[in-house]
Amino acid sequence: MKLLIEKYRFYLIAGVVILAVLSVLQLHKLTINPSFDDYIPEEVGNRVYLNKLDSLFGGNEKIMLILTSTTNIINRQSFDRLQILTRELQNVEGVESSLSIADVIDIKQEEGFTLLEPLIDEIPDEADELEALTKRIVNSKMGQRLVSADLSAMAILLTKSDSVEDREIIPAIEAVIEQNPGREEIFIGGLSFIRYSISRSIKRDLKILLPLALLLMIVMLYFSFREWKGVLLPFIVVVLSILFAFGLMAILHWEISVVTILLPIMLIAIANDYGIHLINLYQEKYRLGPDANIREVATNIYKELKWPIVITALTTIGGMLGLLSHKMAPAAQLGVLASVGIGLALLLSLYLIPVLLTFYKPTPDLGKRKTKKRSPVALVLAVFSKWAITYPRRVMAGFVVISTISTAGLFLINVDTNVEGYFPAQSNTKKGIDLINQKFGGSQYVSVVFGGDVLSPASLARMDDYAREMEKLPEVGHVISPGMFFKEISKGMYLPGEAGYDALPASEAEAVQYLEMFTMGGYQEQVSQIIDYNYNNARILISMKDGSNHTGKVILDALNNLTRDDDQMKYIAGPGLSKIQIADMVVEGQIKSLVLALAIILVLLIVIFRSMAAGIKSILPLIISTLFLFGTMGWWGIPLDIVTALLSSVMIGAGIDYTIHFLWRYKLEYIRSRDVGQAITATLNTAGRGIVFNAFSVMIGFSVLILSSFAPIRFFGLLVVLSIFACLISALLFIPALVNLTKPRFLED
């Protein structure tokens, strides 16, 4: 370090500047990917089946537009606007088909002729005619899908092409709505719109949360150290680590997702820790010797803190690398990027901060500063010291009680990866989701695909039975099946009371005749959504009343039970089922990442302190904090999802630092005094201050996540603050009490 300071400091600074510039030049390559289907590997289950569905029936994603009114929506003005919107939306690039109540056909027979007429030709002025029309709409199977039961809303159902991006089709749809104003309020729903909203919210969060976190960091550092170099130097390290991490992300062609919002906040919260300890020791040395040479001080703080900082950084990286066990690519990528960013922050803190300190003159009155009364932090640390020395068994008993209560909460944890719950209740996105779920049976669909002789009477009857059984489930919104189409068409082939009226075709030839007649009527698009062009495949479409994991599992289980012995059933798939696979991946990834992170840190601690007992005792605070974290989630009803599943690795990576810093300093103090009580008191009075500043910088950094647009990110921010606080209290109270009781040899040798 002395040689670096004296001869090569300008070369180091130049190298860092070049690295920063190269990173900035990569940032324009970054793209946002809000899709949750991409969290699932391409070769796995539902994602494979979705690709097959696309090839058979075209786009599987639906976009719904809901026109709402405070009065009866069945009126001439609203219907005219609906017709115009339906017609113009059909011309939007990426819209394969559009369907509204204006497109619904009333099939009937008159004087021996089959008539295919619009269900609504025009809106009558007479009250009795309007009432009769309303009854026809309510009694129509398709009408029920497109007009709410309370007649307050109408829907336009769009089928989205998989070849068009959300960022292209949604603004185009919004432009059509804007060009056709009216008194009805319009909401948009569907997974495509949800993804588009997520993309916009990701940009909003990065623009707001990142500067806010940096500002809070500046304020916290200034009030901690009361001098600007104590702010600037850790700040430089953090900004450089963020730039490098995002630059690496661009080089690797990784995309920004909801999970990526955590990356800069994690680096702000964690990457300044090492600089905080260096500045804290720098100030400590100048208080004791205000006339010391700045270059000697820079060299000495490097020598004294090199190994503690390296060790804490390695254990933090070890915790982050636990994310590699996740099958979800964004989670594993976050582990890599956070580890690289923390590794760079380690190197910059150890080498750049001491070098930059040599350009400063010592603060003139730093050695003379005296406080007339002890700070709140010092008072709390004094209380902890007294408790750990005087009442160690009571302290341990208190932690046992808290851990027991937390363990009970583990059994209450719910896993839910429903993206519909990501948005605040007051947002238009959430309002649209709730409106669709409550009044139109939901916008997320599940498809049951059948192959073979799908037009045979036996096949059609079996599919019709499945549809009727699924309609009985309270979790199901609407069911669209081949049988529904054929029964509607039969009303144009037979008169009421005749055997074929409102019935399935009696033969395969009759089924083909029905379809050809419907196709000639101009309704080929509607048919192709249920039966493919070659009549080799058919499907039942089932809408979910909400996007929860529970609803998805109930529907999936029911379908599996119904079709278990059906050789014609090929597969069950749908965008609404992806979250069930993600939920399974979340649980598996959470368990694996927790075990892997603890195992990595246990091995590192055993190597660092050269003692098995050291490793086991040092991870006890992590185990206590982990129980507290997940117990809190269970008791408060916070679900385990794709974001909160990352909590344990982050907490373990950041929280282990406090225990290591305490034990490292305690060992030095014990060697000096050979007295446990004095060593505990001295450690809390010196290293304890840096540990508290460190922990609160992490908590303040993560606290900005509470302002995120996404509920899981807000929960993550709250929970990580609580868990880091638990790690802090464990390191400053549980560990001293444990050391006092057990007097471990690895700290006394």
Tens of pLDDT, residue by residue over 22-62, are 999 999 999 998 877 667 666 666 777 877 887 788 666 78
State the pLDDT confidence band at 604, using cuts at 50, 70 and 90: confident
Q: Is the pLDDT of residue 691 over 80?
A: yes
Q: At residue 742, what are phi and psi to the nearest 5 degrees?
A: -100, -20
Give the end of a domain, one of 533, 559, 577. 577
**300 part of a folded domain:** yes
Average pLDDT on 565-575 reads 89
**421 part of a folded domain:** no
Q: What percentage of residues in the chain have a pLDDT greater than 90?
A: 40
Domain co-membership, 691 together with 550: no
**364 part of a folded domain:** no
Domain co-membership, 173 together with 232: no
Distances in Å between the alpha carbon of 451 and those of 116, 455, 467, 566? 29, 10, 17, 11
Question: Quick one: pLDDT at residue 370?
Answer: 52
State the pLDDT confidence band at 722, using cuts at 50, 70 and 90: very high
Least-confidence region, from 281-285, 622-626, 670-674:
281-285
State the pLDDT confidence band at 467, using cuts at 50, 70 and 90: very high
Pick from 215-224, 280-289, 453-462, 652-661 the range whose average pLDDT is largest. Answer: 453-462
Q: Is the pLDDT of residue 517 over 80?
A: no
Average pLDDT on 422-442 reads 87
Question: Quick one: pLDDT at residue 120?
Answer: 86
Q: What is the CATH number of the domain that holds 164?
A: 3.30.70
Closest CA to 567 of 474, 434, 681, 450: 450
- Count of domains in the chain? 3
Give the end of a domain, one of 577, 598, 623. 577
Domain co-membership, 714 together with 727: yes
Average pLDDT on 685-689 reads 86
Q: Is the pLDDT of residue 523 over 70?
A: no
Question: Quick one: pLDDT at residue 607?
Answer: 87
Question: Quick one: pLDDT at residue 233?
Answer: 92
Domain co-membership, 435 together with 543: yes
Question: Quick one: pLDDT at residue 387?
Answer: 95
Contact 67, 146 (CB under 8 A): no
Domain co-membership, 177 together with 216: no
Domain co-membership, 178 together with 220: no
**369 part of a folded domain:** no
Q: Which domain holds residue 83?
A: 59-195
Question: Quick one: pLDDT at residue 698?
Answer: 86
State the pLDDT confidence band at 201, using cuts at 50, 70 and 90: very high
Question: Quick one: pLDDT at residue 111?
Answer: 66
Domain co-membership, 78 together with 201: no
Domain co-membership, 586 together with 708: yes
Least-confidence region, from 64-68, 84-88, 295-299, 352-356:
295-299
Domain co-membership, 203 together with 189: no
Q: What percentage of residues in the chain have a pLDDT greater than 70?
A: 93
Give the end of a domain, one of 523, 557, 577. 577
The DSSP symbol for 449 reads E
Question: Quick one: pLDDT at residue 369?
Answer: 52
Q: At residue 328, what are phi and psi to the nearest 5 degrees?
A: -70, 120
Question: Quick one: pLDDT at residue 162?
Answer: 79
Residue with tokens 């036996």: 458
Angle, nearest 10°, between helix axes 229-251 and 9-26? 50
Angle (CA) 378 384 388, round 5°: 145
State the pLDDT confidence band at 416, using cuts at 50, 70 and 90: confident
Please give the Cα distance from 524 to 471 (Å, whole number). Answer: 26
Question: Quick one: pLDDT at residue 188?
Answer: 93
Q: Is the pLDDT of residue 636 over 70?
A: yes
Please give the Cα distance from 414 to 638 (Å, whole number). Answer: 7
**564 part of a folded domain:** yes
Residue 531, beta-bridge partner list: 538
Domain co-membership, 563 together with 585: no
State the pLDDT confidence band at 390, using cuts at 50, 70 and 90: very high
Least-confidence region, from 4-18, 434-448, 451-465, 668-682:
4-18
Question: Quick one: pLDDT at residue 291?
Answer: 65
**166 part of a folded domain:** yes
pLDDT by residue (tens digit) across 365-389? Answer: 555 555 556 678 889 999 999 999 9
**417 part of a folded domain:** no
Least-confidence region, from 189-203, 282-296, 306-320, 715-729:
282-296
Contact 503, 490 (CB under 8 A): yes
Average pLDDT on 418-432 reads 85
Domain co-membership, 592 together with 702: yes
Please give the Cα distance from 664 to 282 (Å, whole number). Answer: 18
Average pLDDT on 457-463 reads 94
Residue 459 CB neighbours (<10 A): 21
Please give the Cα distance from 574 to 190 (Å, whole number). Answer: 13
Instruction: Output the average pLDDT for the chain.
Output: 87
**49 part of a folded domain:** no
Question: Quick one: pLDDT at residue 362?
Answer: 67
Structure tokens at 111: 């004087």
State the pLDDT confidence band at 476, using cuts at 50, 70 and 90: very high
Domain co-membership, 554 together with 675: no
| Contacting residues for 571 by C-beta, under 8 A, at least 6 apart | 49, 52, 449
